[in-house]
Structure formats: C-alpha cells, structure tokens
Amino acid sequence: MNLARVLEVALPDVPPLKQRQGFPRIHPRHVAREHIERDGPLMMVLVPDGPNCFFRFNPLQYKLATFFDGQRSYAQVAADYEAETGIALTAKSVEEFADSLEKLDFWYKTPQEQSVLLCEQLIEQRQKKIKKKRNFGDMSVIELIYFDPDAYLRWIHKKLWFVYTPWFTAWSFFMFAVMLGLLGARWNEVWSDSVKFYNFTEKGWSDVAEFFAIFLLLGAFHETAHGMTCIHFGGASHRMGVFLMYLVPGVFCEVQEVYVYGGRRARMLTVAAGVWSEIVLCQYFALIWWFTPPDSWIHGFCYKLILSGGIFCVLINWNPLAKMDGYYLFCEIFRFWDLKGLSSTYLSAVVRKHLFRLPATVPALPPLRRVGFAVYAMLSGVYCYSLMLFFVKILYHVSYHFTPDWAFVPAWLLAFAIFRSRLRKLGQFMNELYLDKKEWLRQNRKPIWAGAVAVLVLLLVPIRREYVDEPFVLEPVSSAVVRAEVPGLVTSIPVQEGQTVESGQLLAQLHDLTAESQAAEAAANLQTAGARANSAQLSYADFGTAHQRQIEMQKVDQLRREQLQKLKVTSPISGTVTTARVKDLLGSYVTAGTVIAEVADSTKMKARVYVSETELHKLRQIHSASLLANSMWQPLKGEFVAISPAAREVEPGLMTQASYSGLHPPSYFTVDLLVESNGAKLSGGMSGTAKIYGERRSLAVSVLRPVIEGVSRRIW
C-alpha cells in the first residue's frame, strides 16, 4: 500500500494545517497575455503545477498580483502599488485580495507547502468518500482514467498539420456539400434511423455496448481535435481522459491554455474543432457507405458512425443552452465569459427580490440585456433539466423490459440522485424564506391556509390527460384483391405498380379462344332464332315453338357475353396499385382465381396501434390520438375506432425484442384509429409512434399511482 493510501485510510480527522509561512508569492513561471473582451482589456493568466491553472484579471488586479514576491508585506505591497499606479490601497484590502486568491490556489507554493497541501487534500478526499457513502454516492461526474496527452497531441499535430491549411478547408467544404447530397437523397431513411439509433428503449445489451463503443471512439476523435487545435495556436493540453456523467461515459480534454496563448479567433476555432472534426470524418464515411454493398460489414459500420457523429451530434453539441461546445462558441461570438452563470445569477436575484421580497442585489444591466439574460436563463434551465430527465427516462424504459411493475424504482432513485443537490438547495431556500417571512406568516394565517387549500385542490383536480406512447402500422381502410374470374391468356396490362386507378378502370385484358368462339356461336344462334321467329309470325306456322327458341338463345347469348366481359379485369374501387411487378403476368396463361393485382385506397388509412397490457388501463376513455410516422415530420390526427377484444401478435419487425434474461414480454392489444391523409402520402405498412390520450388525471394521482399499483401487485 502506498503512502497516499495509508494516509487516506489511517489519518484521523484533524484541523486544517497551516500551509503558508510568510507572505504570498506569484508563480515565477506564470504566463500572462492581454485580451480585449466585451468589458475591456483582460489579463489571461496561466499558472503551472496547480489544481486551478487558468485565471482572469483586469489589468490593475494583475498589476497588484505581480507585487507579491514572498518578501514584501501587505503594507509594502500597498505602498509600492500606489507609487507606481497612483491608486491608494490599505494593507487590509491588499490582505483580503491575497486571501481571495489563496482560496483559488493562485499563489506559488514551495515543495514543503505542497506536501502540506497534499496531506490536506487526502484528508478532504477521505471526508468526501465518507460523505458519498452516506449519501449513496455522487453520480454527476466520475473520472475513470486520465493522462497527460501533450506528447500525443503534438505527435498528431505534426502528422496532420495540413488540416489547418486553406486548401484543406476548401476541400472539406466541398466534401461537406457532397455528403449533404448523398444523405439528402435518402433523408427520410437517415433521419428515421438517427432517431432509432439514439432510442435506448429498443436496444439489447449488445446494442447498448456497441453504441457506447462507437460513442467513445468518436468522442476520443472529437476531444483530440480540441487538443490538437489548442496546440496549433500555441497552447498545450495536460489532461485528457474518460469520465461518467450520471453513469453515461464520455471523453474530456482540457484546452484552457488557448484562452491565454490564443486570441478570440483561436478560441472559437478550438471550440468548433470537435464537432467539425466529426463532420469531416463523416464525409468520408458517407462515401464509403454509398459505394460499398449494403450487406457488407464496412457498409453497416460506416452507417452507424454517420448516425453517431451526424445530425444529433451537431444538434446536441452546438446547442448553446447547455455547457457544451455550442455554449462556449456562443459566449465567444457575443463576448460573454460566463453567460449561464451571469444570466442565472441575474434571474435568481430578480426572483428573490421582486417575487419573494427577499434581500438580493440585482446587477445593473442595460434593458435589452436584462430581457436577454432572463429569457436565456429560463430556456437554459428547462433544457438542462429536460436533459437530466432524459437519463431517467432511459433507465425507466430499460428497467421496463425486466419488470414493468417495478420499473419506477430505479428511475426514481436516479432522479433523486440527480436532483438531490437541487432539492437540498430548495430546502435551504424554503428555510430562508420561512425565517424571513415568519412574522408575516403569523399575521396572515387565514390567507395562507386558503392558498394551501387552493394548491391541494389544484393537485387533486384532473387537469392532465394520461396517454400511451406505442408503435403502430398503417393499413388501408379499403382494399381489394383482383382475381381472374375466367381462365385466359394475358394479352395486355395497361397499369403498373404505384399507379392511381379509378373504379372500373381496366387492369388486364385476357384472351380465351373457346370463350370467344362460344360467344360468336351464341350470337349467330340468336340471330337465326330471331329470323325463324319472325318468319313463323308472318306465316302463322308454329310461332310458339320459334319464340321459345328465341328466348333460349337470348339467355345463352347473354351468358356468353358476360363470360366474354370477364376477360376484361377491372378495378372494383378507386385507389393505388400495390402489386409489385404486375406486368410480369403479361403473356402468361392464368387460371380462374389467379391474383392479377391488389388495389388499395390510400386516402383513408387505418392505424393499428399495439398497446401493452400494462398500459391498457389508461385507455378506458379515449379522447384523441396523434400519430407520427417514422418517415414524416408532421404528426397526423387519428380517430378512435375500436379496441381488440383479445390479445394480438405484434406485426413482425415492428418491435425489437431484446433477449433479456428474466424477461416476460407483455401481451399486446390493438387499438384501431382512422387516419386522414390531409394531403400527406401514406402507404400501407408505414410505421411510427402513436400517442393516444385517455381520461384526465390529477397531478397527485399521476405521481402516486405507479408506486401504489407496483407495490400492490407485488404484495398481492
């Protein structure tokens, strides 16, 4: 066991040690550069060998920090600073300035002081581990492995220096246009597959492992591009590794030095390099995917890399509402250093002061910036909390495969772990609010009780509609299978697959020599019988017999003409020909009953929605339904028709059944919905997701019902 482990396990809880002897000193090897930002000139300072290596000062603050050499007292620093700048400071204010930087680990530490600091850090880590065990662990960010990537990144930069040349940039934009053309030709398919690729509800363990393997591979490439660009602009990177954020793996690479060595353009390019590198990589994967056979492994592998590093990568990483690449790029464009922190602080102060009447200092901002900060803080908060809830939803759906009754337990535990710190802050705020308003609460008991009753009523009033979110497949309401009624040789087929036909339109022309001969013979016999009947009537000789013969021949002629008419195969309904390669029957001899073509009316479609048995209780009353096909952007409205009285088999290929051990798949019932196309091109066999809204439930029932039902099932 090494010394660090011995100290971590065996050290008792002791008061903090005295780290510094004498006065503070600025690091002799620090690097400082002046940058012009929104608020004027700022000094970006890089301090080596420290836990916090990057600092920002205004020029006067940095000037004051340079006077600390470890020998001057606070009074001497104040006097020398006043002599050089003309700004008078007290020794007390200089000491407070030094203490504030001491808390940020800015000052230089001798080896002895670093040893004392290491001892304190080990004690602090020990206390954090004990606290984590008591609080069931902290899953927000867990670093797994990390290393110093500087040598690796410099080696990569020497090999790939040409990616920063103008000609390669122009070539990349050209390839980007080519990629858009290739993917745009099959956009509906690519978009649908992108949604499925990021949908964990239908993935087995092997699919999840494959997803994160590809995700980590592209993540390493993404972060390497950040670090290599930082080195290109004169900086360095000394920390790169793998971490878990709420148990989801990711890769990181620190590039703070670009904020010191590089200007605004360098910072923007360093931030954008990650996503752009994935786009450049996808350009060549798209070419390989396009030219390789569909059944080859390289075709499928490249397609998965496109899905992982394509649409959703850009949408998520370049979204400015969360602290990812898009956020830092947004801050650089509009010259805000910490937009999320500034906007959140402003909105929090406004709410505290004007809504809850608590003491708070609202920053003085221009009117337009006040509105922008408030809007950004609200949008960012909603987006970030939605992103956190996304992890909870993934865990719920994965657990649902094992046991639908208890799926809420791990989901609620993860939600509690994610929002635990927020709940703690909410508790502190409520305690502060109570202490501040305690006297007012005593004086206004009746209105407060009335408000509490109103909140309780609001929780119990059924205002939220329950809904199920299940897959569906489309079927035509009206369809017909057209068969040959008489045998014959197919001589003409004037339609083709996908062609729209009207009711009574010719689909195929048959030829049968026997039927045609019999029809001609019947017509001749009818003509002869008619002539004899006329002759008998004129000569008054046996007219009754001749007339009966004429009637008999008329019936035979009508029968033969009907048989002859059946050689023309027509469509009984208006619709679209759905039979593949219908013209393949041309020239062949078909018997009675042979399928000639299938016609379906696509103007009115029926959606067959498969609802699991555990979700069926939500549909006791069906209010409305909305359907979104995988190949469409705009949802369609559905009208309820019926629910199947018995369980049905799920349409093959509609659901991916994961091979989980201990999995007991639920039974599925079908809910039929009538769908109007409203101008959209619908076809039988199209699939997607349907939301069927049932009766209204109160918020209290919606929250407590899954828990009560799950526990009740297990207790029973």
User: In this predicted structure, what is the pLDDT of residue 311?
Assistant: 67
Name the pLDDT band for 155 (thresholds 50, 70, 90).
very high
pLDDT tens column, 218-273: 888 888 999 999 999 888 888 888 877 656 677 888 888 888 888 888 888 998 88
Name the pLDDT band for 131 (thresholds 50, 70, 90).
very low
- Greater model confidence, 512 or 290: 290
pLDDT tens column, 414-443: 788 777 878 888 888 888 888 877 777 777
Does 507 have pLDDT greater than 60? yes
User: In this predicted structure, what is the pLDDT of residue 141?
Assistant: 61
CA distances from 67 to 54, 81, 322, 369, 583 (A): 19, 7, 39, 37, 92
Does 456 have pLDDT greater than 60? yes
CB 107 within 8 A of CB 21: no
How far apart (Å, rounded) are the C-alpha atoms in residues 153 and 238? 10
Name the pLDDT band for 541 (thresholds 50, 70, 90).
low
How far apart (Å, rounded) are the C-alpha atoms in residues 93 and 629? 66
Terminal-residue alpha carbon distance, the chain: 52
What is the overall mean pLDDT for the chain?
77
CB 19 within 8 A of CB 120: yes
User: In this predicted structure, what is the pLDDT of residue 229?
Assistant: 92
pLDDT tens column, 640-682: 888 888 888 877 766 655 443 334 567 888 888 888 776 677 7
Parallel/antiparallel/unpaired status of strands 687-697 and 624-629: antiparallel
Does 140 have pLDDT greater than 60? no
Identify which of 648, 532, 632 has the alpha carbon closest to the alpha carbon of residue 192: 632
Q: How many CB atoms lie within 10 A of CB 353?
A: 14
Does 128 have pLDDT greater than 70? no
pLDDT tens column, 627-644: 888 777 778 888 888 888
Task: Collapse the DSSP code of 500 into the 3-class scheme (helix H, G, I; strand E, B; otherwise coil) and give the result.
Answer: strand
Q: Which residues have a Cβ under 8 Å from the Cβ of 173 and sit 6 or more positions away?
A: none
In 3-state terms, the chain is what percent helix, strand and coil (to 5)?
55, 20, 30
Helical (H) or strand (E) element with 513: helix 513-539
What number is the average pLDDT over the span 547-569?
75
User: In this predicted structure, what is the pLDDT of residue 246?
Assistant: 59
What number is the average pLDDT over the span 133-140?
47
User: In this predicted structure, what is the pLDDT of residue 334?
Assistant: 83
User: In this predicted structure, what is the pLDDT of residue 80?
Assistant: 84
Name the pLDDT band for 714 (thresholds 50, 70, 90).
low
What number is the average pLDDT over the span 168-192?
83
> DSSP of 217-246, one letter per residue?
HHHHHHHHHHHHHHHHTT-----EEEEEET
Identify which of 616, 634, 614 has the alpha carbon closest to the alpha carbon of residue 677: 634
Does 274 have pLDDT greater than 50? yes
pLDDT tens column, 339-386: 888 888 888 888 888 888 888 888 888 888 889 889 998 998 888 888
User: In this predicted structure, what is the pLDDT of residue 461?
Assistant: 79
**Which of 123-132, 186-195, 420-429, 554-563 has the least mean pLDDT?**
123-132
CA distances from 16 to 12, 24, 334, 487, 650 (A): 12, 18, 43, 101, 65
pLDDT tens column, 164-178: 999 999 999 998 888
CB 501 within 8 A of CB 495: yes
- Strand partners of residue 31: 46
| pTM of this prediction exceeds 0.85 | no
